[in-house]
Structure 1
Amino acid sequence: MLWPRGLLAFNLDEEQRSVYSGPQGSYFGYAVDFYIPEPGTVSVLVGAPKANTTQPEIQEGGAVYYCPWPAAQCKQIPFDTTNNRKIKVNGTREPIEFKSNQWFGATIKTHKSKVVACAPLYHWRTLKATPEKDPVGTCYVAIQNFSAYAEYSPCRNSNADPEGQGFCQAGFSLDFYKNGDLIVGGPGSFYWQGQVITANIADIITDYSFKDILRKLIREKQTGVAPPSYDDNYLGYSVAAGEFTGDSEQELVVGVPRGAQNFGYVSIINSTDLTFIQNFTGEQMASYFGYTVAVSDVNNDGLDDILVGAPLFMEREFESKPKEVGQVYLYLQESAFYFQDAQILSGTDMFGRFGSAIAHLGDLNQDGYNDIAIGAPFAGEDRGGKVLVYNGHSNGLNAKPSQVLSGFWASQSMPAGFGFTLRGDSDVDKNDYPDLIVGAFGAGKVVVYRARPVVTVDAQLLLNPMIVNPENKTCQLPSSRILVACFTVRVCAAFEGQSISDKIALKAELQLDSLKQKGAVKRTLFFDYHQSHHLFPIVIERQKRLHCQDFVVYLRDETEFRDKLSPISVSLNYSLDESTSVDSLAVKPILNYYQESTVTEQAYILVDCGEDNLCIPDLKLSATPDKDQLIIGEENCVVLLINPRNDGEGAYEAELHIKIPPEADYTGVERNNKALHVLSCDYKMENETRMVVCDLGNPMVAGTNFSTGIRFSVQHFENADFSIKFELQVKSSNKVNSSSNLVNLQINISAVAQVQIRGVSNPPQIVLPLHNWKPKDEPTKEDDLGPLVEHIYELHNIGPGAINDTLLHVGWPVSNQVEFLLYILHIQTHGPLQCQTSSAINELQIKFAIQEDTPELTAFLRNSTIPHYIRRRDIKVAEPQRRSSSKILNCTNVKCLIISCIVGQLDRGTSAALKIRSRLWAQTFLQRKNDHYTLSSNVSFGVKKMPYKVQPAKFPEGSIAIKTSVIWATPNVSFIIPLWVIILAILLGLLVLAILTLALWKCGFFDRARPPQDDMADREQLTNDKNTDA
C-alpha cells in the first residue's frame, strides 16, 4: 500500500539530522550560524552565553563554539582569554569592565570569513569617580579563520548613564550588509529609546589595540537621541538589511517592538545617513510586533520583501477568551517605497511564541522561489518547540506549512526552546539544496537539517479504447475459453530534478474502478491477475525520456454489476523506492510535495444511447396517499400509490427514493392489488435519513409507465406537527436529467379522544329509622355517626388518542352550615390522580372501622348492580326516578367541600378512579322525621392537553351528579304469640296429616300395579319364536 501524500514531510531530512551538544546549562544553541570561509570547508558556529571559559576569575562569561561538519566534537573559539581589565584608582587597582554573566555568544553573525559575536550584557565601570556598572555591551570580530580578533564596543564611552548610552546593550541584534559592513542594535540607549550603529569591519580590525578602550571609528554611524516620547521603544531590538529604494545601496530594517504606544513598528532606515524612510505598524497592542525581522525575495521578482514577527499576538475566536498564538507579517515589495498589504501567518499553539525567529532559507525545494522557516520555540507537546517551513510562490508564501519540525527533547527545569534561533540559506553537504540550523538552548542542543533533492515525476495514463463495448468480446481469459471485453492501460513516466542520479525507481500501484467504494463490485479486473489492483516497480533512466508499460484489463460480465453509466476510473499511485542504498552522508531524494502523485484516467461502457453514448432520460413521478387524514391512536396504515414513468432514453440504475418521515415506518410493498406493479424495495439509512429505495430497472427503458403501492405504518406522533410529509423522487446514474420531479405528499394529522365520566353511590339509598341505633353526643368511631355512604367516580378514556393534564372537580355536600350531612372519612384514588381538598377532612378524628376488602375501584364500578350515573360529552345525564316529596341537597343549597384533582396521562382504554368514603350524619336526619332527602355530589372534568404537538379544536369536558337517597319507612306492628298456641297448632297439623294418609291407603293408593297374565304368555311365545329363527 502506498503512503498518502499528506503524511510525508517535505524535503528537510528529519531522519539523517546532525545534532551538536554543549555543556549543560550553558544555553548552547542560543545563537547559531553557518561558517563557510571558503568552498569545501563547512562548519557550524554556536553561541552559549552562559558557558564558562578559561578566562581567569570570570563566571559564565559565555562562549562561541566551533562545530565541524559532519558532526564532530565542538570546541570553544578563543575570542577573549583575558580577565577584566583594571585601572588604578587612588592607588588601588579596580576592574574597569565586568565580563562575568556578560552573555557573550548571545548573538552570532558571519559574512564569508568574518565572524562577529556579541555580549549584550557586558558592563563597564565608566570613568566616574564613583564606580558604576553600565550594560553597554560589546562585540568581538574574528577574521582569517580565527587567526585575528578585535573588540568593538560602540557604546562604551563617556556618555554614560541611562540618558546616554550607559544601558545600550550593543550587540543585542546583529546583521551584515551585503558589502560586509556590520549592523549592531542597541535597544537600551537613551532611556531605552534604542539605537542602531553601523561600522566597517576593516576599520574595527585595523590598528586595533587592546588598551584603547574608548576607541572610535571614523566611518561609524549611529542613530541619535529622540524626544522623550520615544523612551522605552527599544529601537534596534532586531535588525536586517535589504534594498527598498530602487538604488544599489541596501537599507536597514529595524524592529521597534514597544514603539507606537506599544503597538510596535518596523522602520526602514537609510544606510547612508541613518534617516527614517518608512514605517510598518503593528495591529495589536503588546503583540511585540518587530520582535524579529527578516528580509527575503520570497516571490522571486528581484525585489526584497520584509517579514516581521509578533510572537505575543493574541487571537480571539468569536466570543471565546483570547489566546496568545503569535503572528508573522509578510510585506511584498512591488516597487521602491511601495509594499502590498501584509500577508499574515498565524500560529496554532497557545503560548508557542510563533514568530520568535524567522529565517530566510533560500530556494529549499528548487522551484524558483525562496522559502521561509518560522520558529515557535514553546509550541507542541511538552512545550518542546516547533519550526514551520513555508514555501514561497509568485504571490507570497503558502498559507499552510509544507513541513513542521518538532523538538524531541522534553522540558526539564526549563523548555527546550527548539526553534528559538534559526539560520538557513547555506549548503553544508554540497548537494545544491540549502540547509537549516535549529537551536534548542534549553536543552543545550543544535540540529542541522539537510535538504533532500526533489524529484518531479511526469506520469501518464493512456486507455485504449476509452469506450468499451460489452458485446465486443475479443479477449480469452487465461486457462479458460471464456471471452471477455477488454482494453489496454499504458503507464508512462519520466523524471527531472537537481542533484538526482541518472536512474530512479518508483513503487507504483494501479487501481481499477477506483471511484467505487471499498466492498463494492469492481467492474474491471487485470487480465493476468484477476484483481482490481496491481503493485509493480517502475525504473526510469534519465537518458530515456519516457518509460512505458502496458496492462490488459477486462470487463466483468454484465450480470455481475449494475452500474453501466458511471466512468471506470483507473488510478496510478506512485512513490519513490527508497530501498536503494545511498552514501551514509547523502540524503535520499523525495517526490515534489506540490505535484500530485496520483494520475487518473477514465473509460466508459458503451450503452444503447445513440452515437454520443449519452442517455438522456425524461423521468416523471406522481403519487397520492390512500387517505388524507390520520387520527392519532388509530392503526393508521397508509398506502402510497405511486406512478413512475420514463418518456426519454434509458435511465440506468433507476431507483425510487422515498424519504420516510419520523412518524412513519416502512412495512412493505402492496401485493394484494393485481393492478399494482410489485417492486423490489429495501430500507436504507443515508446520512442519518431513513429511506425506502426501490429498483425501477437497469435500465428503466423508454416508455416505462406503471403504478405501484408502498405501505407504511404511522404510529409515532409524540413530536408530530399537524401533518407528515413523504418526499419521493426517481433517481438514476445518468449524467443528464438524472432525476425526476420531487413529489411531496402531505397527510394531515388530527387528535381525537372520547372521554367518559361515570359514578355510583354505595348504597344508593338509606332507610330511616336505623334499627338498634341511637345517636351519641360525642361520637368517637364510625358507627357512632351513621350508615356508610361511598361515592365512586371513574374517568375513562375511550380513545383513540391519549389525554393528559385533565382537571377533575368534586363538590361534596358536607353540611347545612350548622349540622353535618355526609362526613368524609377517607379519599382513595386509583391511577394517575393527585387530589387536594378545599378544607381538612375528618376534623373530629373519628376512629376508622375495620374495612372489608374493597375490589379495585374501576372493576367495582363495572361489575356493580347499583345504578350508575354516566356522562360523556355526547351523552345526556341519566338520573334515577325522583320521589315527589324528596328534597335535593347539593352544592347550590348546602355547604360543599371541593375536591380538586389533576389527572395524568390516560392512554386509550385506561381509567382513573376516585372513591370518597363517608358516613351519613344520622342525627341530622333523625331530627327531621319522615322528611325524604336526596344527597347529591357533583363531579366535573375538563381535558386541558393531549400529549402531542397536535391539539384538538375543542377538548373533552363533562359532569354528572351522584345521588344517595335518604327515605323514611313506617315500621311493621309486632304481635306476641303465646307458646301454647304454637304447640296446639303443631298437633293439629299432625292430626290432619294422619287422617289424609289413612284415606289414601283405603283407596289403594299405596298398592303396586302388576301386568296381566295374558300379557306374560304372549311375551313367552315371542321369545320362543326368536330362538327358532336363530
Structure 2
Amino acid sequence: DQVPQQLLLFTLLLLNPRIIKGPKQAQFGYTVQQHVAAGGEKWLLVGAPYEMNGPYQTGDVYKCSLSRRTNGNGCSKLNLGRISLTNVSERKDKMRLGMTLTSNPQDNSFVACGPLWSYECGSSYYSTGICSRVNASFKFSRTIAPAFQRCETYMDIVIVLDGSNSIYPWYEVQAFLINILQKFYIGPGQIQVGVVQYGEKVVHEFKLSDYKSVEEVVKRARSINQRGGEETNTALGINVARSQAFKQGGRRGAKKVMIVITDGESHDSVDLQQAIEDSEKDGITRYAIAVLGYYNRRGINPEAFLNEIKYIASDPDDKHFFNVTDESALKDIVDALGERIFSLEGTSTNGTAFGLQMSQAGFSAHNVEDGILVGAVGAYDWNGAVLKETRQGKVVPPKSSYTQEFPEELKNHGAYLGYTVTSVVSARNGRLLVAGAPRFNHTGKVIIFTLKNSGNLTILHSLKGQQIGSYYGSEIAPVDIDGDGITDNLLVAAPMFFSGGLEKGKVYIYRVTELNRFVLEGALEIHNGGQNARFGSSLAPVPDLNGDGFNDLVVGAPLEDDHKGAIYVFFSQHNRILRKYKQRIAAADLAPGLLYFGRSIHGTMDMNNDGLVDLAVGSLGAAVLLWSQSVVRIYTTIRFEPSKVNIFVKDCQRGGKDVTCMSAIVCFNITARTAIPPTQEIGIKYNVSIAERRFNPRAILDNPSKLQPQNLTLFPGEETCDHIYFHVMETTDYARPIVFSAQVGLQDPADGPVLDESWPTVVRTELPFWNGCDEDDRCIPDLALQSMTDLMTRNQFCVQPVQSRGAFCRHLSEGGAEGSLRVIEGNRRRMVVDVRLENKGENAYNARLNITYTPNLRFSSLIVKDNSDIKIECFIEDKLRNEKICNVSAPFMRAKTQVSFRLEFEFSHTVFLQHVRVVLEARSDGEEMSTADNFNDIYYSLKYEADLLFTRDSNPTRYEIKSDLALEEPGVIGPPFNFTFQIQNLGYFPVKDLQLNIEIPEMTKNGNQLLQISDVYIDQVNGTHCLPPQHVAQSRASPEDLSRFSRLNRSNTLTLPIQCTVTVASYREIAVRITGALRIDTLHTLKFKILELGTSASVELPSSSPMFLHEERPVRHIILEIRKEGDYRIPNWIIIGSTLGGLLLLALLILALWKLGFFRRQKRRDKDEQEANGKVAEER
C-alpha cells in the first residue's frame, strides 16, 4: 500500500461549513459582505432586497453574528428600509434595498443601496435610487442619493384673495379656490399652499406648512368666509404675503408663486410699485386675476383696473394675467391657470435634470477615497451613467461626457452603463475608475475613466465584448496579484457567454501595463459538460489562500447543477492567474436545498480567528461561510550509512549468504506556508520503498513491515527521523544506483492542514555503488572507433568485366580523381558499414554509440560479429528520425575490450540525395583524455548507375505505293504510321532529367514533304517537358530523283526534331508515341524503287546529373520501307517461247498417262460377270 497523493490543493474546507439561513422570499443571500464592527467584532452582512418593512417590500440588510453562542442563525434586520429622505413624497415599495452592498475597511462602515427607490413628482414617479451609509456601530450615518433632484413641483404657492365687500357672490370665489387647489400636487417635496385674505386688513387663513395633502387643504378652504371691508388694499395684501406668508413655513430652494385675485382698483395704489419691486427681488412669480363683475354690473370702464392688474402680474402678461367677466366665470380659468403654473417645471437650467429621472443610482457602488461611486443604469434613456457623492456634494458628469464612447445613434440599445463599477490602481496615474455597460451595442463594453469633483469625466480606454448577448461587463474585478498596491489584472465577466448552445460564461483577463494599457491575455472558462452555468456572475479577488505569496480569485457559477450553483477557486503565480481552477465547490457537496450558490462572493478577512482568510458565499435564502485550511510542506530527506555500496566488503549474512549491510535514515520536518498554531499536532502517513523492478532485487529491507504505511505525529518546525536497515545482495548490476523512495501524506487531509501542491510528496534518493576505478571514483575510459563501407569506388566499378566502356568509365582512364566518390550500382538496395569499437582505457560506464545518418538512408539492423559477449541495444525515438542511440555492454564496457559489428542501411525510395553521410560517435560517462578517435565521419558523394532498357516499335514497317494515278492529286495523305520509343527503368532509383532526342525525316533537300506528323504523345505528365516540334510549311510536290539513296536520314533530308526531358521512376516505364501519315502525292512524284525512311532516337543525361548510363548516348532507329509497284513490257520472244514450252510439257504428260493405262477401257468378260450376278455397274 502507498500513501495516496493529493492531486489538487483544497484550501477551502468542505466539512462543517457555516450555513446561515434566511427568508427565501426576501432573496436573503443576494449579496454578502464580511464586516468588522466597532470593537473588532466580526459580522456577516447579508442583503435581502425583497424583505418587507411594514406594509412595504423595501428590502433590508441583515447583520449575522458568527459567535457560536448565538441562538438560531444569529441574524437581525437593520431596518434600513425605514430610513427616509425629508421633504420628499417617496415610494419605498419594491425599492430593493440590499441589492447592492459594499463595505469600507477604512472606517468599517458600509453602504447599502436600493436602486428602485422612487419619489413622486406631480403625476410621475422617478426611480432615482438611494443608498444608506451605516457606520461601524450599525447606526445610520447619511443618505446617498446623487441622482435625486427636487421635483419640478417643489413650489411654495400663496393665494392672495380679495375679500372686500365688492366681491359677490363669495361662494363662486370659494369654488374657484377649491378647484385650483385640487389641481395642485401637495405633499412633501412638492407644493405647499398658503391663503391670505385682504380688504382693509390682511388675514392669514392658513400658512404654507399647515397642511400636507390636497384633502386637508380643500377641507380648510371650504371653511374660509368672506372678511369684507370697504377698501381694497391690494398693495398691503401683496406685501404681507411676500414678507410674512412665504416665511411662515416656506422652504429653501422652493419656487415662490403668488396668485392675486381682486375685483377692483387698489385703494393703496401708491404702495403698489414698491410691493411689486420687492416681490421681484424675492423671486416671486405672480399670477394676477381681474374679476370684472363689479365694473360690468355698474357699467364702469375697467381700463384703469386692468392696467393695474397687468402691472401686478409678472411678465409676460399673456402668461401671467387673467380676467373674467364676473365671479362665476372664475371656474373657466382653472385649467389654464394650472397649466401655466406647472409650465414652470421646464425652466430648470440643469441640463441633466430630465436624463436622471429614472437613473436607478445605486445599481452598483464602489468606495473611493473621497466618497462613493455609484452606477446609474437607467440614466439617459437606459444608456446609463456613473455618479459620485462626496461630503462636499454630488458629482454629476454632463451627458456629453459619454457621447464619444456611447454615440447618440445607439441610445435606443440601452447600454446600462454603471451595471457595475470599480477602480484600478495604476503605477503611473494612480486610481482609475472602471464601469461596465453590458448591453452596449448588444455585445457589452467597459470604460476606464477619471472623474473630477467638478464633474469633468474623461474616458481613457474602452474594452469591447465579442459576443452578442454575453453581458460582457456585468461583473468587473481588479486583481492585485503580488500585493504591491498596483493592479496587475482587470477581470471582465461575460456570464451569459454562449458556448455549445448553453450559457456557460467566460471571464476575460486583461493585463494592466505600466503605460496604462489593458492587454487581453486570455480568459477563464470551465468545461462542465452540458449545462448552463453563468460562470462569472460574481468575481471575488481574495488574499493568498495557499501561502505562495500571490493573491487568488474565486468565481461564481450560480446556475450549475440545475441551478444549485458552484464556485471555482483559481490560484495565481508570478503576476498571472492560472487558467485551470484548483478547487470546485458545488452546493450539492455542502448541504441539500441550496440554490443559486455563488450568486455573490466576498472573502477578505479571517472570520473564525484562526489566522486564515475565509469565504462568504450567497445563495437563495442562505449565506454560506467556508473555512480556509492551513497549507504545510513536509520536508523529507534520506541519507545512508555508509554513503555508498561497497560490493567488495561483505560484513554480514542474510539467509546464509554474505551480503553488505547498511541503513537509511529518513527524516521529516513540517513547515507551515499559511497561519497555523505552533502547538497543533499534525499527523502524517508515510512509507519507504526500494524502487527495484526486478525478480531478484539488489537491496532488501531487513524488516519487511517497514514497507507498510507508517503513521507519525509532528509539531510544526520539529524534525523526526526513522532508521531503516537493509542489505545489498551480490549483483553484477552495480552501474545503476539503488533508488530509495519516501512518499508522504497527511493522515486526515479533510480535517486540519493540507499539503502545498507545489511541494513534492515523493522523494527519491539514489544510493550509488563504488565503481572500483580509483580512489576518487573517476574512471578514465579510452574509446576508439574504426569503420568502413561496402560502397564501390569508380575504379572498382569500372574494372568489372560486365561494365561497358562508357563515358563514366572513360573519364577514369583519362586520369579522373578517385576522391570521395562512390558508385551505387543499379541493383543495389543497401549500404553496409563495418565498425569496430574498442575501449583501450578503464571501465566505460554508460557507454553508448550515437549513429546519425542522412535522410536518404533508413536504419535496418545492427549485427554483432565474432560471437562477442558484448551486447549492443539500440533504441528508437520518434523525435530522432535520422538518429539512433545504442547502449554498449550496459551498464559499462569493460576495460581493454572490443566489439565488431555491422550496420545495415536501406536506401530510401522517397529521399534522393547526391551524397551519403553516416556519423558514428562513441561516448560514456567517463572523461577521456582525448576524444579524437571517438568520431567516424563517413561522407561520400554518389554517382548512381541508371539501369535503363531503351526499345522502339513501328507500325507498319513497310509500305507499297500502288500505281494509281488518282492518288497523284496534290495534298493526298497516305496511310497512317505509329512510331513508339519506350524507356524502362529497371533500377531502384528514379532517373531524372533524362534527355530524349528524336529526329524524323520530314522533307527532302528540294522541299518535298515525305510525311506529316499529327500527334506526339507521352504517357507521363509529372516530370515531363517537351519542346513542340517545328513543322515546315506544306508545299506542292515537285519531281525529284531519289533513286541514288537507299535510306533517308538526317544526312540527306531535313529532319523534324522532337526534344523531351523526362523522369522515369524506379521500376516504371514511359513511352513516346508519334503518329502521322505519308504524303502519297509527294511520294508518287519522287523517283525511286525502294526507299527507307530512318527515324532515330537517343537518350542522354546532363553532365550535372548524379546518374550515368552504360552507353554514352544510346541510339535506337526505326526504318520504314517504301516500295513502288513496277510498270514493265514483256518481249514477244519470251511470250512465244513460253507458249511452246507449255505445249511440250502437256504432251509429255499425256504420253506418261497413256503409258500407265490411264486411257484404256474395261474387258467384256468383266461386264458379263457383272450381268450374271444381277448387278448393274454404276457409271463412275
Task: Find the residue that maps to 1:7 and give its secondary structure.
Answer: coil
Contact 1:757 1:960 in 2 (8 A): no
AA of the residue aligned to 2:769: I
For residue 1025 of structure 1, what is the aligned residue in structure 2?
Answer: none
Task: Find the residue that maps to 1:605 and give its secondary structure.
Answer: coil
Contact 1:326 1:353 in 2 (8 A): no
CA distance in 1, matches of 2:967, 2:929: 96
CA distance in 1, matches of 2:869, 2:1105: 36
In structure 2, the CA distance between the partners of 1:695 and 1:281, relative to structure 1 (3 Å rule), is: same
Task: Find the residue that maps to 2:656 and give its secondary structure.
Answer: coil
The one of 541, 545, 553 aligned to 1:373: 553
- How far does residue 894 in structure 1 lie from its aligned partner after superposition? 7.8
The one of 898, 910, 916 aligned to 1:718: 910
The one of 89, 99, 106 aligned to 1:105: 99
For residue 527 of structure 1, what is the aligned residue in structure 2?
Answer: 701
1:938 and 2:1098 are equivalent in the alignment? no
The one of 163, 173, 182 aligned to 2:352: 163
CA distance in 2, matches of 1:36, 1:787: 114
CA distance in 1, matches of 2:576, 2:120: 48
Task: Find the residue that maps to 1:484 and give its secondary structure.
Answer: strand
For residue 617 of structure 2, what is the aligned residue in structure 1?
Answer: 438
Structure 1, unpaired ranges of 5+: 88-93, 199-219, 245-251, 314-322, 332-338, 411-415, 841-882, 994-1030
AA of the residue aligned to 1:962: I
CA distance in 2, matches of 1:956, 1:154: 104
Task: Find the residue that maps to 1:466 and give its secondary structure.
Answer: coil
In structure 2, the CA distance between the partners of 1:254 and 1:120, relative to structure 1 (3 Å rule), is: farther
- How far does residue 432 in structure 1 lie from its aligned partner after superposition? 4.0
Contact 1:609 1:650 in 2 (8 A): yes
Q: How many residues align?
A: 845
Larger Rg: 2
In structure 2, the CA distance between the partners of 1:396 and 1:297, relative to structure 1 (3 Å rule), is: closer
The one of 1123, 1127, 1130 aligned to 1:966: 1123
Q: Percent identity?
A: 18
- How far does residue 116 in structure 1 lie from its aligned partner after superposition? 4.4
Task: Find the residue that maps to 1:311 and give its secondary structure.
Answer: strand
Task: Find the residue that maps to 1:574 and give its secondary structure.
Answer: strand
Contact 1:719 1:949 in 2 (8 A): no
CA distance in 2, matches of 1:788, 1:162: 101
Q: Which deviates further from its counterpart, 817-826 or 533-542? A: 817-826
Contact 1:652 1:733 in 2 (8 A): yes
AA of the residue aligned to 1:488: S
For residue 616 of structure 1, what is the aligned residue in structure 2?
Answer: 780
After superposition, the C-alpha distances for 1:150-171 in whole angstroms (9 at most, x for unaligned) are 8724437656777378677554
- How far does residue 611 in structure 1 lie from its aligned partner after superposition? 1.4
Contact 1:641 1:707 in 2 (8 A): no
Task: Find the residue that maps to 1:135 and give its secondary structure.
Answer: coil
1:424 and 2:603 are equivalent in the alignment? yes
In structure 2, the CA distance between the partners of 1:756 and 1:95, relative to structure 1 (3 Å rule), is: same
Contact 2:366 2:421 in 1 (8 A): no
After superposition, the C-alpha distances for 1:592-624 in whole angstroms (9 at most, x for unaligned) are 345433334332101112112232334444544
The one of 521, 525, 537 aligned to 2:710: 537
Q: How does 1:122-141 map to 2 (within 5 A)?
A: 122-125=117-120, 131=124, 133-139=126-132, 141=134
Contact 1:804 1:945 in 2 (8 A): no
For residue 570 of structure 1, what is the aligned residue in structure 2?
Answer: 740
AA of the residue aligned to 1:448: L
Contact 1:358 1:375 in 2 (8 A): yes
1:654 and 2:847 are equivalent in the alignment? yes
CA distance in 2, matches of 1:786, 1:154: 111
AA of the residue aligned to 1:509: N
After superposition, the C-alpha distances for 1:658-689 in whole angstroms (9 at most, x for unaligned) are 234443344556788x8x98964444302443
For residue 34 of structure 1, what is the aligned residue in structure 2?
Answer: 34
Q: How does 1:499-510 map to 2 (within 5 A)?
A: 499=677, 503-510=681-688
1:557 and 2:730 are equivalent in the alignment? yes
CA distance in 2, matches of 1:444, 1:949: 87
CA distance in 2, matches of 1:256, 1:466: 63
Structure 2, unpaired ranges of 5+: 152-349, 406-416, 438-444, 467-471, 495-504, 527-532, 590-594, 792-820, 1032-1041, 1158-1180
The one of 620, 639, 644 aligned to 1:462: 639
**Normalising by the residue count of structure 2, what TM-score does the alignment of the two structures yield?**
0.57
After superposition, the C-alpha distances for 1:560-607 in whole angstroms (9 at most, x for unaligned) are x3x61x54342312111228xx8xxxx443123454333343321011
In structure 2, the CA distance between the partners of 1:949 and 1:355, relative to structure 1 (3 Å rule), is: farther
In structure 2, the CA distance between the partners of 1:83 and 1:742, relative to structure 1 (3 Å rule), is: same
Contact 1:29 1:46 in 2 (8 A): yes
Q: How does 1:892-931 map to 2 (within 5 A)?
A: 905=1064, 907=1066, 912=1071, 914=1073, 931=1088
Q: Which deviates further from its counterpart, 569-578 or 821-830? A: 821-830
CA distance in 2, matches of 1:523, 1:568: 10
Identify, as 1 or 2, the structure richer in helix: 2
Task: Find the residue that maps to 2:1148 and give its secondary structure.
Answer: helix
Contact 2:739 2:764 in 1 (8 A): yes
Contact 2:567 2:597 in 1 (8 A): yes
AA of the residue aligned to 1:468: V
AA of the residue aligned to 2:668: A
1:753 and 2:946 are equivalent in the alignment? yes
After superposition, the C-alpha distances for 1:35-89 in whole angstroms (9 at most, x for unaligned) are 676999976433344x36465465xx544456776998798837256799999xx
- How far does residue 467 in structure 1 lie from its aligned partner after superposition? 0.8
Task: Find the residue that maps to 1:982 and give its secondary structure.
Answer: helix
Task: Find the residue that maps to 2:13 and give its secondary structure.
Answer: coil
The one of 370, 374, 383 aligned to 1:186: 374
Q: Which deviates further from its counterpart, 223-232 or 678-687? A: 223-232
For residue 860 of structure 1, what is the aligned residue in structure 2?
Answer: none
For residue 508 of structure 2, what is the aligned residue in structure 1?
Answer: 326
What RMSD, in angstroms, separates the aligned Cα atoms of the two structures?
6.4
CA distance in 1, matches of 2:420, 2:774: 75
Contact 2:476 2:493 in 1 (8 A): no
CA distance in 2, matches of 1:910, 1:235: 79
In structure 2, the CA distance between the partners of 1:678 and 1:727, relative to structure 1 (3 Å rule), is: farther
- How far does residue 137 in structure 1 lie from its aligned partner after superposition? 2.0
CA distance in 2, matches of 1:738, 1:731: 12
- How far does residue 8 in structure 1 lie from its aligned partner after superposition? 1.5
CA distance in 1, matches of 2:559, 2:1114: 71
Q: How does 1:799-810 map to 2 (within 5 A)?
A: 801-803=989-991, 809=998
In structure 2, the CA distance between the partners of 1:263 and 1:398, relative to structure 1 (3 Å rule), is: closer
CA distance in 1, matches of 2:920, 2:719: 53
Q: How does 1:775-786 map to 2 (within 5 A)?
A: 775=964, 777=966
AA of the residue aligned to 2:658: L
- How far does residue 990 in structure 1 lie from its aligned partner after superposition? 10
Task: Find the residue that maps to 2:918 and give its secondary structure.
Answer: strand
Contact 2:788 2:834 in 1 (8 A): yes
- How far does residue 436 in structure 1 lie from its aligned partner after superposition? 0.6
The one of 490, 499, 523 aligned to 1:309: 490
CA distance in 2, matches of 1:802, 1:151: 94
Contact 1:819 1:924 in 2 (8 A): yes
The one of 509, 512, 537 aligned to 2:690: 512
CA distance in 1, matches of 2:479, 2:37: 23
For residue 211 of structure 1, what is the aligned residue in structure 2?
Answer: none
**Normalising by the residue count of structure 1, what TM-score does the alignment of the two structures yield?**
0.64
The one of 422, 445, 449 aligned to 2:626: 449
In structure 2, the CA distance between the partners of 1:521 and 1:78, relative to structure 1 (3 Å rule), is: same
CA distance in 1, matches of 2:113, 2:1079: 113
After superposition, the C-alpha distances for 1:154-206 in whole angstroms (9 at most, x for unaligned) are 437656777378677554555789xxx995323459998745445xxxxxxxx
For residue 875 of structure 2, what is the aligned residue in structure 1?
Answer: 684
Contact 1:475 1:486 in 2 (8 A): yes
Task: Find the residue that maps to 1:485 and give its secondary structure.
Answer: strand
CA distance in 2, matches of 1:754, 1:297: 73
CA distance in 2, matches of 1:832, 1:371: 67
